Amino acid sequence: MNHSISLTVNGARRDFVLDDPRVTLLDLLRERLHLTGTKKGCDRGQCGACTILVDGKRINSCLALAISHDGADILTIEGVARGDQLHPVQAAFIAHDGFQCGFCTPGQIMSAIGMMREAQAGNDPERIRECMSGNLCRCGAYAGIVDAVLEAQAGADETNQRRSA
Amino acid sequence: MPELNLTSAPAHLRHGSSIGQPLTRRDGVLKVKGEATYAADNHPPGMLFAVIAVASIAHGRVTSLDVAAAKRHPGVVDVMTPDHKPQLAIDPEIKTNPFVFRMEVLQGNEVRYANQPIAVVIAETLEAATEGAVLLAPRYETLPALVGLDAGKSYVPPVVGVGNPSENHHGDVAAGLASADKQIDATYETPAQYHNAMEPHAIVAHWNDDHLQIDMPTQGLMLSLARVAELFGIAHDKIHIRSPFLGGGFGSKGLMAGPPVLGIMAAKLVGRPVKLVLRREQMYGPVGHRAPTRQRLRIGADAEGRLTALDHHARTVSSTFDDFYEPAADASHTLYAAPAIRTSHDAVRVNTGTPLFMRAPGEATGSIALESAIDEMAWACGMDPLAFRLKNYAEVEPITGKPFSSKALRACYDQGAARFGWAKRSLRPRQMRDDAGLLVGWGMGTATFPALMFQAEARAAIRRDGTGAMEIGAHDMGQGAWTALAQIAADAVGLDIDSVNFKAGTSDLPDAGIAGGSAHTATAGAAIHSAGAAVIAKLADLATNDERSPLFGAGNTGVIARDGRLIRRDDDSRSESYSEILARAGVAEVEARGTGAPNPAAMEEYAMHAHGAVFAEVKVDPELGQIRVTRMVGAFAAGRIVNPHLVKSQLFGGMIWGMSFALHEEAITDRRSGRIMNANLGEYHIPVNADVPPLDVITVEEHDPHVNALGIKGVGEIGITGSAGAVANAVWHATGVRVRRFPIRIEELLTQR
Amino acid sequence: MKQFAYVRPATVTEAVAAAAQPGAVYLAAGTNLLDLMKGNISRPDRLVDVTHLDGLDRIERLADGSLRVGALVSNADLAYDAEFAKAYPAVAEALLSGASAQLRNAATVGGNLLQRTRCAYFYDTASRCNKRESGSGCDARDGENRTHAVLGWSDRCIATHPSDFCVPLVALDAIVEIEGKNGRREIALDELHRLPGNAPERESALEPGDLIVAVRLPPAARGFAAHARYLKVRERTSYAFAIVSAAAALRIENGKIADARLALGGVAAKPWRARAAEDVLKGVAPTADAFQEAAWRALTDAKPSGDNAYKIELARRIVMRALTLAAAGTPARIPALPASPFASTSGAIHA
């Protein structure tokens, strides 16, 4: 049975006919929309490589059926930069070498962006470590990841202060 | 593949040469934007999805597969089985060279280990292929599985690791032990570990008539190409492999394994491009792992704490059908100046996928046992662990008596200990607490890894527009080849890094050797260096033989290349740009090749190793036994550091692997079935962000004129060694409980309150 | 994953009717169900997607002082609800100690209650498992079972319930509101999960079609806000299931324990309420001796089901610690490492 669904992906509305309700958001993005920035590391919600934002919240796209997210607003790594201008989190990941092989990186960055929106960790390294623990990195770039998030958070705090001033 | 759009003019400091500069990754922008193309990101038109079905038994044979049920599933195109598959040109059981491992590619119904591929379902969608593989519902004739380090009769393997003798000795160990004032005799166990690169093994295979296009992560483009060529009976130039990025390798993507071969076979069977990606649980079998070990160390020391003998025996396993032996005991060859050393190995065969190199193969497993035993010996002698190690500092390589090509280990000990604050450590265990009441322990370990070189070739060119090119089939699995090798290339051709078109990651480029053994930067770098020198020599020939050049008569050795110009060595004012030289000569470009290779004479004369010292602090809940590493300092001497920014990351990564070895990683095999019960990332624990404390790395200055032309020793693996033992020793120091089975488990620390 | 029919009911009544049919299951966030389906542990014919139903995503304070949490409220939204965290701090801490931020953002209250065991033999479809396939046997019994149950297990099944959330909930007498074929009913959370006995495949008191629509915390549950903690021992600092966990909640009046609540996680097929331990605490001063006594009482009936005798001693120690932490008072803010023994480790070191 075919199911019609519509999603907003990186700001653009996309309408699909899904021929199979088994398709996850991750496989929809990667194999049908060819948005391959989002990675599949485990396909079971155990590594975080597939992290995307759905309606502003970070989730594991491997454990989300596309059909159940009809109407959702999705942000993937491809939608984070504005052209050549990197998102501050992206820039900070480069500056602090928050990755090596880069495979977990899109998930780490989406998770970091989601975490900053959640506003629970602030600039406390220990809370950042805890709140980023859903993203495994086998190369062991965790120190750089935490430093990158701290820098991005500091930048965001500064912007907010300027706005409120 | 479109040209990689690597970052140019990155925002990093820069003065003088490229080598030694902390450049940020040139592939950084691609990676943070999700634009770096890994194998599974490719979608050639008409592509189908292939999913492997794997055996759920560890030993026996498949008696039936319900192919019809799989084919009835909508979207399933074909099912590849031993009875329905393209023929290979040679039997994959034949070992055509020592780097060929046997693989399971549907040549029969025999099952040799759990998770062995037994069929491949090919479908229009991933969902259909995945379910098709389930619908095969295999039936088996099951035979008893061989499991564990005591599975059968042990034997002495002919070699361990890559061609190392399985036994080595120097001096009289029995006499050394007999004469000792203090002795320890301790047995340590390490579990099976799986590489678990974040990127699962993947292939997109595409046959165009007799030409084969492959996207596949590989640490060894040419070895893979040669293996594919012989298996499919096609010429090397009919195969093109692209591997611009690996999502981690750690040894598991070094040699061709069965699953990617199945992907190529599937593409051939259906006549369309095929993508085959391993599921995470399928990575626990056909793509290698670190074998478990049981290691017995007997050590003697005299009344002053000088070692009198060191006897290190390792039991390990290999598969029932092939040979790879974790060379764990070899870790005792180089570090401590015992007058008598014996290392030996034996093995049993078990129903497992063949073990393989995994980041610091042998060195990591051996190191945690050796460093634990040395710590135990220091305690037995009543000595500080650092003082004990310094007392037994090896001025020459103990097992061979050769001098070291360079060895700045003493500086590593000094600088690491100072940064850590080691001097304040209590000698006795279980003496330190934090103000939350948690037990605090400090431990250390010595790190070492051989400075290896393989064979590589590079091609360099200087172009009339003043730019350069450097081509080498090198591999970036995260260590930073796109950046570090380009830095070496820039210096080699005397150009700014952004003026050199650096190409890597495909099989049509010169052979860079394997990205393994921590030798890739050294080996590929040496080839690049030599290709650069050769192309500059050609350019210099053009200039110095041309009367119209300001360099006329300077001779080849009389010029240096810098900033796109050749400059008279004795007179800075006389120089000419590359463009001018080539324009006048009327040639579009000059090109040359260079090679990198080990130097047999230097190897004969010197022992060549990188060294380091790692210091770790752990906290342990005194009642609950949960452990957390709270601080680590590593000081490493690894020759010349090409890019300190990336080297620090590599060493951090290694240190985290060391921590993981001591505290987390373990594949749990059901002792009856031989199945791995935690073949996932939820219960096979690797450290998460919250496990990793602030880390500190010191790279100690070390100049080595012997290892290779660039003086590079490699940093990919050494970080694990030393670190694993340091964490284990810190747990002992915190608790007073010596755990000799790794990873250390909570229950082992509950014995005492 | 088996092919299934996808149904998106418009109302709870429609949902119940659709899910009452054989082979149907509810889909909420799917963080556990999809994992099980991908592993072929669960192969439903029909998924009844309840995520679009109205009215199940609210947190409401009721007139009698109860709190009603809709079944579709996400774990994260609940834990980060400031008023909720203040009133039921141990519940919030337990929620935040479970899984990862991504999973907590998706996973729902109702789904968490019904998550399945992490027993490796349940997950490994080639193994015998009475829970997965009634009567097939239990390969965990003589297998790799160092993390298995020490309370309430039977020879048929030694699996544990993996939820963190349920542990403080059961301690606080949470009530589960269920919509079924015969309308609305409610049961105590303690009655929701069943011990294995002879029928480990029957994991809960739910009947076909039953839909958990809310969890309610009774008025008395607020009384423990000042002294409530959740503590969880695990093999990674984060993103790991409990080896053993405990929720402890005390109401301390005039230096005496007026009321005590204690439950254990990771020890049985259900969140384990330790009423005998609570009883010894009532009316006594919150002292180490009292907590020690409670710890012994809590584990009186414990016995190893395999290589897991250590879990009994560990559970005693966790009870002791959780009670001690609860008595010391709920921290103003949930620690950086929720429920971790390392919640506060920045302190200076001394010999």
In tens, the pLDDT along C202-253 reads: 999 999 999 999 999 999 999 999 999 999 999 999 999 999 999 999 999 9
Distance CA C208, CA B464 (A): 78
Which pLDDT value is given to residue B14? 42
Q: Which domain holds residue C315?
A: 224-328
Distance CA B61, CA C276 (A): 54
Residues C324 and C287 in one domain: yes
- Is residue C39 included in any domain, yes or no? yes
Which pLDDT value is given to residue B553? 87
Cβ pair C349:B683 closer than 8 A = no
Specify burial of residue B736 (Cβ count, 10 A radius: 0-12, 13-18, 19+). middle
- Provide the pLDDT confidence category of residue B98 given band limits of 50, 70 and 90: confident
Tens of pLDDT, residue by residue over C100-118, are 999 999 999 999 999 999 9
Residue C345 Cα, gap to closest chain B Cα (Å): 6
CATH of the domain at C229: 3.30.390.50
The number of distinct structural domains making up chain C is 3
* B620 and B438 Cβ atoms separated by less than 8 Å: yes
Chain C within 8 Å of B682 (Cβ-Cβ)? Answer: yes
Residues C213 and C285 in one domain: no
Q: Which B residues in the span 616-675 are in contact with A, Cβ-Cβ below 8 Å?
A: 645-646, 648-650, 652-657
Residues C311 and C215 in one domain: no
**Which of B40, B686, B692 has its CB closest to that of A138?**
B686
- Is residue C175 included in any domain, yes or no? yes
Tens of pLDDT, residue by residue over A76-91, are 999 999 999 999 999 9
How far does CA B121 lie from the centroid of its chain?
32
Tens of pLDDT, residue by residue over B392-438, are 999 999 999 999 999 999 999 999 999 999 999 999 999 999 999 99
Our CA angle for B511, B517, B519, nearest 5°, is 55
Q: Residue B630 corresponds to which amino acid?
A: T
Chain A within 8 Å of B689 (Cβ-Cβ)? Answer: yes
Encoding tokens for residue C116? 């399945």
Q: Of B28, B120, B96, whose CA–CA distance to B486 is shortest?
A: B28
In percent, the amount of chain C with pLDDT more than 90 equals 97
Which pLDDT value is given to residue A163? 84
Chain A within 8 Å of B126 (Cβ-Cβ)? Answer: yes
Prior bond to B327 cis, omega within 30? no
Residues C277 and C319 in one domain: yes
In percent, the amount of chain A with pLDDT more than 70 equals 99
C contact test, residue of A28, A130, A137 with most C CBs within 10 A: A130
Ranges in chain A annotated CATH 1.10.150.120 = 88-158
Which pLDDT value is given to residue A2? 87
Kindly give the pairing relationship between strand C211-217 and strand A3-9: unpaired
Domains of chain B (ranges, CATH numbers):
28-34+454-597 (3.30.365.10), 40-144+195-283 (3.30.365.10), 362-452+604-641+696-749 (3.30.365.10)
Helical H segments across B399-476, by residue range: 409-420
Chain A within 8 Å of B199 (Cβ-Cβ)? Answer: yes
Residues C206 and C98 in one domain: yes
Residue A136 Cα, gap to closest chain C Cα (Å): 10
Please give the average per-residue pLDDT across B670-687, as a whole number: 98
Q: Of B650, B202, B591, B168, whose CA–CA distance to B449 is shortest?
A: B650
Residues C185 and C64 in one domain: yes
Q: Which A residues in the span 1-60 are in contact with B, Cβ-Cβ below 8 Å?
A: 20, 22-23, 27, 30-31, 34-47, 49
Distance CA C347, CA A153 (A): 25
Encoding tokens for residue B446? 């010595």
Q: Is C79 helix (H, G, I), strand (E, B) or coil?
A: helix
Residues on chain A touching B479 (C-beta within 8 angstroms): 100
Encoding tokens for residue C341? 């023994």
ipTM (interface pTM)? 0.98
Cβ pair B690:C236 closer than 8 A = yes
Cβ pair B250:A138 closer than 8 A = yes
CATH 1.10.3710.10 fits A88-158, yes or no: no
**Which of C4, C29, C39 has its CB closest to that of A21?**
C4
Distance CA B577, CA B539 (A): 10
Comparing alpha-carbon positions, the chain B residue that sits nearest to A83 is B33
Chain B within 8 Å of C348 (Cβ-Cβ)? Answer: yes
- Is residue C187 included in any domain, yes or no? yes
Query: For the domain bounded by A3-79, which CATH number is listed?
Result: 3.10.20.30
**Which of C144, C240, C345 has its CB closest to that of B685?**
C240
Kindly give the pairing relationship between strand C67-70 and strand C5-7: unpaired
How far does CA A127 lie from the centroid of its chain?
18
Tens of pLDDT, residue by residue over B179-238, are 999 999 999 999 999 999 999 999 999 999 999 999 999 999 999 999 999 999 999 999
Encoding tokens for residue C117? 């065991």
Please give the average per-residue pLDDT across A22-32, as a whole number: 98
Cβ pair A135:B250 closer than 8 A = no
Residues on chain C touching A58 (C-beta within 8 angstroms): 101-102, 105
Specify burial of residue B479 (Cβ count, 10 A radius: 0-12, 13-18, 19+). buried
Chain B within 8 Å of C240 (Cβ-Cβ)? Answer: yes
* C246 and C264 Cβ atoms separated by less than 8 Å: yes
Q: Over 60: is that where the pLDDT of C333 sits?
A: yes
Q: Of C22, C16, C18, whose CA–CA distance to C6 is shortest?
A: C18
Chain B within 8 Å of A135 (Cβ-Cβ)? Answer: yes
Please give the average per-residue pLDDT across B612-619, as a whole number: 98
**Which of B130, B672, B750 has its CB closest to that of C313?**
B750
**Which of A30, A93, A133 has its CB closest to that of B689?**
A133
Residues C192 and C264 in one domain: no
- Provide the pLDDT confidence category of residue C343 given band limits of 50, 70 and 90: confident
Distance CA A136, CA B133 (A): 28
Q: Which C residues in the span 126-155 are in contact with B, Cβ-Cβ below 8 Å?
A: 126-127, 139, 142-144, 146
Tens of pLDDT, residue by residue over B400-413, are 999 999 999 999 99
Which pLDDT value is given to residue C252? 98
Specify burial of residue C275 (Cβ count, 10 A radius: 0-12, 13-18, 19+). middle
- Is residue C253 included in any domain, yes or no? yes
Chain C within 8 Å of A142 (Cβ-Cβ)? Answer: no
Encoding tokens for residue B273? 């491009």
Residues C232 and C262 in one domain: yes
Query: CA quadruple B550, B554, B556, B561: dihedral positive or negative?
Result: negative
CATH of the domain at C93: 3.30.465.10
Q: Over 80: is that where the pLDDT of C346 sits?
A: no
DSSP assignment of B282-348: GGSSTT--BPPEEEEEEEEE-TTS-EEEEEEEEEEEEESS------GGGGGSSSB--SSEEEEEEEE
DSSP symbol at B183: E
Q: Of B689, C89, C340, B663, whose CA–CA distance to A130 is shortest?
A: B689
Chain B within 8 Å of A63 (Cβ-Cβ)? Answer: no
Residues C83 and C213 in one domain: yes
CA atoms within 13 A on the CB side of C10: 0
CA separation, residue B515 to residues B115, B365, B698, C157 (Å): 27, 21, 24, 48
Q: Of B514, B485, B493, B506, whose CA–CA distance to B249 is shortest?
A: B514
Residue labelled with tokens 């008596």 = B401
Distance CA B323, CA B166 (A): 13
Q: Which B residues in the span 59-98 are in contact with C, Cβ-Cβ below 8 Å?
A: 73-74
- C touches which chains (3+ CB pairs under 8 A)? A, B
Specify burial of residue B547 (Cβ count, 10 A radius: 0-12, 13-18, 19+). exposed
Residues C93 and C235 in one domain: no
Residues C34 and C107 in one domain: no
Chain A within 8 Å of B681 (Cβ-Cβ)? Answer: yes
- Between B5 and B676, the more confident residue is B676
Distance CA B505, CA B486 (A): 13
Size of interface A-C (CB pairs under 8 A): 101
Chain B within 8 Å of A132 (Cβ-Cβ)? Answer: yes
Ranges in chain A annotated CATH 3.10.20.30 = 3-79
Which pLDDT value is given to residue B10? 43
Chain C within 8 Å of A59 (Cβ-Cβ)? Answer: yes
- Is residue C130 included in any domain, yes or no? no
Encoding tokens for residue B519? 């030798």
Comparing alpha-carbon positions, the chain C residue that sits nearest to A51 is C102
Our CA angle for B683, B56, B154, nearest 5°, is 85
Residue B402 Cα, gap to closest chain A Cα (Å): 34
Residues C283 and C313 in one domain: yes
- Between C349 and C227, the more confident residue is C227
Bridge partners of residue C68, in order along the sequence:
C60, C216
